[in-house]
Structure 1
């Protein structure tokens, strides 16, 4: 395919439609979502783990299951075996190869009308961290490998994945800050902020990127009584499977807001537009930030990093994406 143009046959129905095709194709599903579940990473001499990780994947799976035509079992890439050299998350190059394999997976691309990829990881705007320990010789300044969001998008452009041409490609990215920590209030003014990150913008149409950087750690440190007082605004993490365990955590606020809004829409409407869904999610996250529900309940402590603004959405979809609920 390199060095030559790609010929793609486009149906008249798709070409003239004012909305993307949102009915399952011949294989019986509309979309098989892809989830990158990166739970841990190393920064300097210390390891970090996203406490909301297991709950996030659980709620995301339930969210997709509420949408007719979505495959009940997402394609999940996890970091359980990332220390093995053959694992997709062992290195940047390995993940690029895995994304290439996904782009050629007909169940995810050719046989689906919509492509959805969710990234759950540590990182900042424009990139996310891979899980492996980069330290050689105990160098405290080492950072984990970074994977560019731009490289993620490039893997599914038309020249690499012709099956997705003119199909909506939706990237939902939740990156938590590995430097988030609680500090004594007396030292709060002395903590320097992080440098602004480079913003990357997609260069191809039919792509939507929605990125949240509201770290899951904000909800994880709330006292039980505070969560109970906030009621439905905070996930309690107590599912049937986890109630027997004392080691359960709430979902990060982005995933929980997405889950709640999809549930509300599927309970009350026959269809909804993706833009309306994301605006509702932003409204919930804005409430969380403005009401300072992220504030720690630990005695005489606060966070060293204040929550960022509501998620940023870069929308280059050429048609409306209307999802059915019945």
Structure 2
């Protein structure tokens, strides 16, 4: 064990001063904006605004790389694209794990996934090729497979460093109840939350608060809800999904107030914000006050085995461990 590794091992908190390349982290973002179920594409309207707010969130933290490493689905119809298939994405994740600027020369690893899916997995784009359906159901990529490439056995550059995964999976079939729903047929049993296998120094924070809850709101409803909803939007007039907006809002509040904050405090604040959004029923539909067929959204789930405190600085002039 070298001197730096020994320092990481003995410390009660994770090292959060810049590495060799002057940063503590270059975040990785998997941005999947559309997924085909048969011929029909489902699109995440909040996608561009989500990326915009994530960049602003990371830019508020000293020594975070100003440009995240982004995997997007712009060319996912190309058979060599990382999001063309699960095998391609695994190859891309393997390359990222061996990218020294993202792993060896950084002091922590952050990965964000924005896609359709459920707890425990997300969907790949599954674009039709030459009007031919590749599959009626898009391929699933499990969160466990995502984590595997950054565990100590496969990625020794990240041993003793915190690895944080922020997973936002939207429901592609978020619909309102109608008369057919009351036909007397039994409702499908909701899928059970899958437990994500983890190891020490990995934290998984997953939200299934679908962006559809806020996307379907009328503009005047968003304005009326003020700071609860990302009502300002981007040039396309779209709002961010509620999870990304809560993350941005709470990081902003913490960086404006203190010289540093602990990751657990951020998670608690985000969950309080989303719990308030849910309890006060701000997610309610505007369309004739119909309830959502899927019921109310759920507060994000956090699973971790971090062995130390993760304290993030908010002032570049205040270095330290």
Question: Normalization by structure 2: what TM-score?
Answer: 0.92
Q: Does 1:278 align with 2:278?
A: no
Which runs of 4 or more aligned residues in structure 1 lie more than 6 Å from their structure 2 counterparts after TM superposition? 134-141
Q: Which residue of 2 aligns with 1:219?
A: 214
Match of 1:295 among 262, 272, 284: 284
Are 1:34 and 1:75, in contact at CA under 8 Å, matched by a contact in 2? yes
- Distance in 1 separating the partners of 2:198 and 2:177: 41
Are 1:55 and 1:237, in contact at CA under 8 Å, matched by a contact in 2? no
Q: CA deviation at 1:133?
A: 3.5
Q: Which residue of 2 aligns with 1:313?
A: 302
Q: CA deviation at 1:57?
A: 0.5
- Distance in 2 separating the partners of 1:127 and 1:189: 30
How many residues are matched? 313
- Distance in 1 separating the partners of 2:160 and 2:91: 23
Q: Which residue of 2 aligns with 1:3?
A: none
Q: CA deviation at 1:44?
A: 3.6
- Distance in 2 separating the partners of 1:140 and 1:85: 12
Give per-residue Cα distances to partners, 1:209-229, cap 9 Å, x unaligned.
Answer: 000000001001111111111
Q: Does 1:129 align with 2:123?
A: yes
Taking only aligned residues, the RMSD between alpha carbons, in angstroms, comes to 2.2
- Distance in 2 separating the partners of 1:290 and 1:138: 44
Q: Does 1:210 align with 2:211?
A: no
Q: CA deviation at 1:47?
A: 1.1
Unaligned runs of 5+ in 1: 1-6
Give the SS at the match of 2:303.
strand
- Distance in 2 separating the partners of 1:268 and 1:172: 24
Are 1:37 and 1:119, in contact at CA under 8 Å, matched by a contact in 2? yes
Q: Which residue of 2 aligns with 1:146?
A: 140
CA 1:82–1:194: 2 relative to 1, 3 Å: farther
Match of 2:51 among 51, 57, 60: 57
Are 2:14 and 2:308, in contact at CA under 8 Å, matched by a contact in 1? yes
Pairs within 5 Å for 1:78-89: 78-89=72-83
Are 1:59 and 1:259, in contact at CA under 8 Å, matched by a contact in 2? yes
Question: Normalization by structure 1: what TM-score?
Answer: 0.90
Give per-residue Cα distances to partners, 1:175-218, cap 9 Å, x unaligned.
Answer: 0001112343x344458345424513233100000000000010
